[in-house]
A and B are shown apart, each in its own frame.
Chain A
Amino acid sequence: MNKFEKYVLDILDDPVSLGAVVVGMIIILGMVIFASSYWFYFRLMFLNLRRNIIRTALTSVASIVLVFVVTLVWTILWFLNLVTSEKAKDFKAIVTERWQIPSQMPYAYEASLAEGSPANEGDYKIDKNKDAMTWQFYGATIDPEKKTRDNIIFFFCMEPMKMTKMMDGMEEYSATQIADLEKLCDEMVKDKRKIIVGKERLEAINKKIGERIKLTSLNFKGIDLEVEIIGSFPEGRYNQSAILNRDYLNDSMDAYNRQNPNSRHPMTNKSLNLVWIRVPDKEVFQKVENQITSSASFTTPAVKVETASSGISTFLDAYRDLLWGLRFILAPFILATMALIIAVAISISVRERRKEIAVMKVLGFTPAQVLFLVLGEAIMIGAFSGLFSSFGTTMFINNVVGGIKFPIAFFPVFLIPLDAIWWGPAIGIGTALAGSFLPSLSACRVKVSEVFARIS
């Protein structure tokens, strides 16, 4: 399935996106029909906008900038909303330590947790080869003498072959990109010293694919590893991430413990951070949750099971005020500013053209037709600026900048969804209608006799 087919299927799956596309199509179709049937009106609107090019251009630029900002803000909110929305089917759950953040569980938990801890006949057993993934976090520096942000790498230690099957965000990649990643994972299985590092992290540590590096651990003191960089992730949310075969970490820890039988590594019983499991539906989730939480095997420390969305929501609680501000202050404020800018431009234009509007009414144009003309001008500015901005923003941010760099929770970068191309015209038309409503009303209420009395 290529990217376009996937995009179409995604839209068909999501009622909001589907609605947005249908509304967008209706608007475009309406504009085409309108432009062809009422070419004169369309042309008159265009000519009226063109008569003061500077004003129209400034209004458009202001709208473009504001749609740009709204698109960025909404992308972050949209994504966080997506990952915190409960899914009904085929969703992931996270098993973590119940009472402590960060979660640090004994690695011995892994075998049973990855299967959902089935203990009795009739219990649900997860296929751990397909529907479970463990995460161990390994932070290290390549320069132990001078630890800086730029020489630190943070690894997700896992089974390499689970990466493309279980990690979030893989759906953003094309089939070719996934196939390339799977080849890399295969190499990682064959040689546990091989690693994948995100592009930006590679740039930060000033290393290239093919180079070997020595890692001095920050959280697993004494467990220092030598690795070879064999590849990178496609552009996107894993630009700052790195993947290490968990076997390398665990084998190294075992080796450490063998060499130091009297002082086992302090992380020995704390090396498992998360277990991801995939369940088919809520009923199974509740069953598995019950199996795990009621098991006597997981009491020291105790564990909890959450849906991934719930887990992420809990994590995002720390950013609650910031997100609230983005959602309810910044975005509405920008939209109101856009509406005001359009309102001012259209008001001035209407005031300048009162005489012409009066003449049109004399010639037989009804108040509704005048209203339509003025609203149409505002909609033309809003729709054009909005579409230009959202399309340009999406292409520029995703393809040139590589996403919105706004590290929040464990999301370092946000790619603008293709849906955002509809946001621009929708925002533009919405704010244009809101902003031009009163000026349009004032235009259609122009009293011909008063206008001409003033002129004479």
Chain B
Amino acid sequence: MDEVISVRVESLTKSFNRGSEKIEVLEELTLNVVSGEFLALMGPSGSGKTTLLNIIAGLDIPSSGSVTVGKNIISSMSETKLASWRTRHVGFVFQFYHLLPVLTAYENVELPLLLLPMTKAQRKIQVMNVLDLVGLTSRIKHLPGQLSGGQQQRVGIARAIVTDPDLIVADEPTGDLDSKSADEILELMTILQKTLGKTIIMVTHDPRAASKAQRILHLEKGKLVKDSRNFSYVSGNVAN
């Protein structure tokens, strides 16, 4: 079967100046991510993982090179266009959940939908669907402060997928969770990839989290040093 490229990164360079010193965060990085792939980005701190993730997600602008997600060359988009593009095409999962503390679980998940031309009824159906998927329909009226870390992260995931994006990016999604909650979140992400066919790019330091991915990229000093297939992922799923 032909593989469809979901994310295409070409000769990507990102640098910034600290005083008179020029710091190269990413150097001539080229990468393709296939549609429906679960990719883990690993590497030591300062290797450029999060910067790469931010650029792919349209949160940062490359110094040179291009990034294409789906059919959109996002590296040349304006900030306003990028904002609109992100709403429809990218879902974000953060390490520290970053839910708005004044809004309930339901309202946090509804937030991105408010930017789309949808009626209240349509929004409600979509929000309840994703909250059902993450198993939180009984917590819709709870504020983030009334939820556990694992539950907050599940709300975060529901918020990320509520607009039905093609691409989900996750920055250390299990970094702030205990192992049980981390397993639940990773399981959920696996379901998103396998059942809903989402492309997932996840930054992690945790080898156990990375083991859930199909493919693992290692970055060091802004360069891609290793691109490996996770065969245990495949065999594990076959066995399942």
Contacts and interface: CB of A to CB of B under 8 A. Distances in A.
Interface in A40-98: 40, 44, 47-48, 50-51
Contacts of B54: 448-449, 452
Contacts of A449: 51, 54, 59-60
A44 B112 contact: no
A366 B84 contact: yes
Given A363-B112, A368-B80, A448-B54, A50 B59 contact: no
B80 A363 contact: no
Contacts of B110: 40
A2 interface: no
Given A364-B86, A364-B112, A456-B171, A359 B80 contact: no
Nearest to B175: A456
* Interface range for B: 20 to 34
Contacts of B227: none
Contact of A366 (B83, B88, B172): B83
Contacts, number: 69
A343 B98 CA distance: 26
B159 A363 contact: yes
Given A364-B112, A453-B50, A47 B102 contact: yes
A270 interface: no
Contacts of B95: 456
Nearest to A46: B102
A265 interface: no
Interface in A357-415: 359-369
Contacts of A363: 86-87, 92, 111-112, 115, 159
A359 B96 CA distance: 11
B114 interface: yes
Interface string B116-147: 00000000000000000000000000000000
Interface of B: 50-51, 54, 57, 59-60, 79-80, 83-84, 86-88, 92, 94-96, 98, 100-103, 107, 110-112, 114-115, 159, 171-172
Closest 7 pairs between A and B when the two form their complex, measured CB to CB = A364-B87, A47-B102, A449-B60, A359-B98, A366-B83, A448-B59, A363-B112
7 contacts: A40-B110, A44-B102, A50-B102, A51-B102, A363-B92, A364-B84, A449-B54
